[in-house]
Structure formats: C-alpha cells, structure tokens
Chains A and B, each alone.
Chain A
Amino acid sequence: MIVTENLYFRYADEKDENCFALKNVNIKIKDGEFVVIIGHNGSGKSTLSKLLNGIYYPTQGKIFIDQLDTSDESLIWEIRKRAGMVFQNPDNQLVATIVEEDVAFGPENMGLSSAEIRLRVDEALDSVSMGDFKRKPPHHLSGGQKQRVAIAGILAMKPKCIIFDEPTAMLDPSGRKEVMETIRYLNAHDRMTVVHITHFMDEAVHADRILVMDEGEIVLEGTPKEVFSQVDTLKSIGLDVPQVTLLSYELKKIGFDLSGENLTVEELVEELCQLK
C-alpha cells in the first residue's frame, strides 16, 4: 500500500545542504496493516506523514501510494483520494455548518452524483457511529465527536488508507477512547490501512507494527512487544513505554520471573498471578 525508497527530505528554507528532516527512510506498509509511528517532537513523524499525502515532495528517493508516485503532480488528487489524512485539531478540519455537509465536502469535490454522495455520507457517518448527529452543527459536538466527523469526511472519499497525525492530542480521556475505538474498528472491520502517529504509548499497543523515529530516521521497528521491551533505548531518545510495561520491566530487573514485556493490565495481572 505504501512504499518509500531511500527517502530523503530537506525543507526548502533549510540552508544547510546536509541537514535533512528525513534521512534514508525505507518503509513498506501492507494493505490492511495498522502501523503506529512514535518519536519525539521534531523527529520527523509529521514531515513523513505530509510526504505520504503529497503535501510535500521528496528531495531524494520515491514514495509510492498504491503504486502511484507522489512526486508526479498529475496524480496528486488520485493519491489523496486513496490516502486520507486526519489532523490533530478537530476545529481546524471541519468546514461546514452542519455535520452531513461537512462529510459531503470531499465527495462533492470529486464530482459524484448527489445520490452517490447521500449514500456515502450516510455510510461514513454510520461507520464512526455519528449517524444520529447528521443535522447538528459541528460546534455543538465534543472533541471526540468532532474528530469522528473528520474521520467520516475522509471515509466518504473511500480511501484505502488513512493517516492520523496525533488525532487524540487535544482530547479528554473519553474522546481519546472513542477515536481509538473508531480507528481500530475501521482497521479490523473494513480492513482499512492505518498509519497512526501518536505521543501516547498506550495507543500503540494494539498496532501490528510500530516504527520509531529519531532525527529523521527509523531507528527501531517491530511488533509492540518487540519495540516496548527496549525500555532503555526508547528512554534515551525521549520516549516512554506504557506504564504496565514499565512496571513489568522494573519488576523483572529486580529479579521477578516476568516476561518484562506485558502491554496490557490483563497480561500483567495474569503473569503476576502465576507468581502468587
């Protein structure tokens, strides 16, 4: 679904020729995969996501979305149709005064018939469980609901992949939960390819694969268990692990017979019960 080959990127206002925001990034994301990208502020995560969506073009190397080359400007609308993007601030993404009009914005721009638009809007809102809010003004919704409407707006364009750039950073705990459940549902139920960028380590535990970025490079890659067992490496690049994983790791360090890589409360409870 997404392939990058020897990707390098330098911002246009960067004077130093050797200062790249992204260096030699080679990733392959399969159809239907759920990939989480973590990294500290300024590590290149958001830059990468903007390249995947054709907002920026590679300085060197290539990116293919569904075999389409993002540096070919004539393909840009086709690429954005296939790889939609959801950003951090829900208030910056909603444009219309009524929820369903907002969701219809994308398909309208695609020049679809009004019957088709109606169908897609309804389907999209149902997928994010916001069907009951069709005729509400977006500013009456909570943060989590607004973010789900933003997701519906992308779904209405029938993409194959959605890139989420910190979609939960501004939400309260229940809003985060709603959005994460929606993302997981889309991935599991509709086989949507998901690229999810986040600073919340506990949102990464359900991913198929985690990519860790530092200084514009991918420095670690693997399943959540593989990645989060590298507690010291992650800490050294300004990251963290979920609290239960840290606890499991700390207990293992002082001699407990634990795997040290539990990702959820249930897993750790089970292992601790074995010790009892």
Chain B
Amino acid sequence: MSIKITDLSHIYDRNTPNETVAIDQINLTIESGQFVGLIGHTGSGKSTLIQHLNGLLKPSEGEIVVSGYNITEGLDQTHSKKRSQRKKEARARKKKLIEVRRRVGLVFQYPEYQLFEETVEKDVAFGPLNLGLSDADAIERVKEALSLVGMDYNDYKDRSPFDLSGGQKRRVAIAGVLAMKPEVLILDEPTAGLDPKGRDEILGQIKHLHEKEGMTVIIVSHSMEDMAKISERLIVMNRGRIVLDGHPKEVFKHIDRLEEIGLAVPQISYLARALVEKGFDIDPTILTVEEATQCLAQKLNRKTKSGELC
C-alpha cells in the first residue's frame, strides 16, 4: 500500500516559548511493497514522523494518504454547539482512527514493555478483538501472527509473556501488531538491546514477512550495518527534514555528510574508502562483508596471477 505525504509539518508547543519544529515541510512517497530504512540522530524527527503515519499525532500542516485513504482528514476537534452533534463527531473520529490503525501497524521501541496479558494468546489477540473480530477469528489471527514471527502457537499460547526471553517477548509484541493485519508495518528500532543472534532473527523475520506478504515495511534504526544489509531504500532525516533518500549504496557514499549530522556508515564502507585511498581499484560502494569478500578475492587473485601491482 502506498503512502503519500504532502507538505507535512509538525510543531510541538506551538505559540509557546518552547515552540519546536519537529517536522518541517516533508514530502515523501513510499510505494507499495517497499522496504524502507529511516535513519537520523536522536531528535531528528524520525519518531514524530512515524507517529503521524498511524494517527498518534495530528499534523500541524499537510496531509498523509495511505492507499488512497486520507488518514489526516477529519481528526480535528470541532466545536459544535449542539451536544448531540459533538458526540456524533467524536464517534466518527474514533471510527476513523480504528480504520487508520488497522491499515498501519506501529511497533514501538522496546515493545516488550507493553505486554500485559496473562498468556501469549490473550496478548496477541488483544488487537484483533479490539477491531471487533469474533473470538474464533481472533484466534485464527493469533495463530497466523505467531507463526509469522517464528513461534509455535501450541507451544506458546498458554505461557505467560513475562516468562519469555527478551527476544521472544519482542517477537510476541510484534505478533500483536501483525495480528491486526496491517498493510504497512512500521518498527521503531526493533533490534535495540538484542544480542547479535536475536537481532539477525528479528530482521530475518521482518524481511521474510516483507517478501511473503508483500507488506510495506518502514524500519527506524541506529544500526547502519543492519540498514545496509536489508533496506531497499534509505531515508535520512536531520532537523525535521529529509536530507538524503536513495538506495543504501547511494546514501552511504556520503560519508562526510552523514558524520556531520551525527550518523555513521557501515564499517565496510570505511574500509572501502580507506582501500580506495591507498590505490586499490575496488568498488567504493560495497557495504557488506559478503560483498567485500567477493570483491577483494576477485581483485587480489587477478593481481597475483598477472603479477601486476595496482
């Protein structure tokens, strides 16, 4: 499902001495089925932006259309004189927000802290039940969602979410969002605090979801290495604006610019740059260990055979 953001601005504490522009006139189109990475230093506006996408924040200006459905329209409180009119509008707003959240699922940072039910099954079923699904349909959703994050329904359904490991808790929390069958899945730092294996597992499952279900995915991350590995498009934010946008290979070419705004590039990009400076004739846009291994193997072998220096 495509997302179209037009002239979006968000100003916190407007008309007070603390007025802060968090989002500054953003225009952005995300095509259906894209896998997008969103990076930027703390306070660059990433979280503010994604909170708009499922109606948690209301734009100060601009609009957002998710697959033809304008999610920012009709959220304003009106001040009708008649009580019955106000009630009617409140109901319409509520309905609207449910519709928005059914389409766009948001997984917060450290989502495991939001688990609250007695069993894994009840926790994952909470969303679908709130959408008004019957018990039987909700259970179907739970089964599906748990299997999508690589957990067996029968093994885990009756366990307390609080007895699981950190990585498992996080997967249950993600399943809770997937159970609502969103068309767009947004994750805010899904791997923060996880060990390397847990990190690779979660990312692998998100990638799999994206490929299998064709879901549009937006991941906010501080890990340049992870973004290099999995995203198809990388958007860089600074001071509420988009400063770079493109394929990771394209974006990570701008080492100095990224460092200037408090970011970094994957270690392999630094290596590639250093090697190019030393006169190695290699592709400066390599990002991953696999690419580097291949590239160097090719270059250096050829050299040993011909006996030439580079």
Contact = CB atoms under 8 A, between A and B. Distances in A.
Contacts of B292: 247
B192 A268 contact: no
Contact of B293 (A251, A265, A273): A251
A199 B41 contact: no
Nearest to B225: A243
Given A41-B165, A266-B274, A269-B278, A238 B194 contact: no
Q: How large, as a class, is the contact surface on chain B?
A: 35 or more
A202 B42 contact: no
Nearest to B282: A272
A275 interface: yes
Interface string B265-300: 011101100110011100000000100110011001
Contacts of B182: none
Given A244-B267, A250-B289, A276-B303, A173 B224 contact: yes
Contacts, number: 115
A202 B173 CA distance: 29
Contacts of A39: 195
A172 B310 contact: no
A251 B289 CA distance: 10
A256 B296 CA distance: 10
Interface string A233-268: 000001110111011001100101000000001101
B289 A199 contact: no
A174 B280 contact: no
Contacts of B192: 169-170
Contact of A41 (B195, B225, B266): B195
A265 B195 contact: no
B196 interface: yes
Contacts of A143: 42
B222 interface: yes
B293 A254 contact: yes
Contacts of A169: 192-193
Contact of A88 (B41, B193, B225, B279): B193
B198 A40 contact: yes
A174 B258 CA distance: 10
A240 B196 contact: yes
Contacts of B296: 247, 251, 256, 272
B28 interface: no
Contacts of B300: 256, 272, 275-276
B195 A247 contact: no
A243 B195 contact: no
A42 interface: yes
Given A169-B193, A243-B289, A269 B42 contact: no
A251 B197 CA distance: 23
Given A40-B197, A172-B42, A202-B267, A254 B297 contact: yes
A240 to B, nearest CB: 4
B43 interface: yes
A250 B295 CA distance: 12
Interface in A182-218: 199, 201-202
B309 to A, nearest CB: 6
Q: Which of B225, B262, B297 has the most chain A CB atoms closer than 10 A to its own CB?
A: B262
Contacts of B271: 243-244, 247, 265, 268-269
A240 B194 CA distance: 12
Nearest to A239: B196
Contacts of A201: 196
A9 to B, nearest CB: 18
A272 to B, nearest CB: 7
B63 to A, nearest CB: 29
Contacts of A268: 271
10 tightest A-B CB contacts, nearest first: A238-B197, A174-B262, A240-B196, A40-B195, A173-B264, A243-B267, A41-B166, A172-B41, A250-B293, A269-B274
Interface of A: 39-43, 88, 142-144, 166, 169-177, 199, 201-202, 238-240, 242-244, 246-247, 250-251, 254, 256, 265-266, 268-269, 272-273, 275-276
Given A177-B264, A201-B196, A251-B297, 15 more contacts: A40-B196, A40-B197, A41-B167, A42-B165, A142-B42, A171-B42, A173-B262, A174-B263, A175-B262, A240-B196, A243-B267, A244-B267, A244-B271, A247-B293, A275-B300
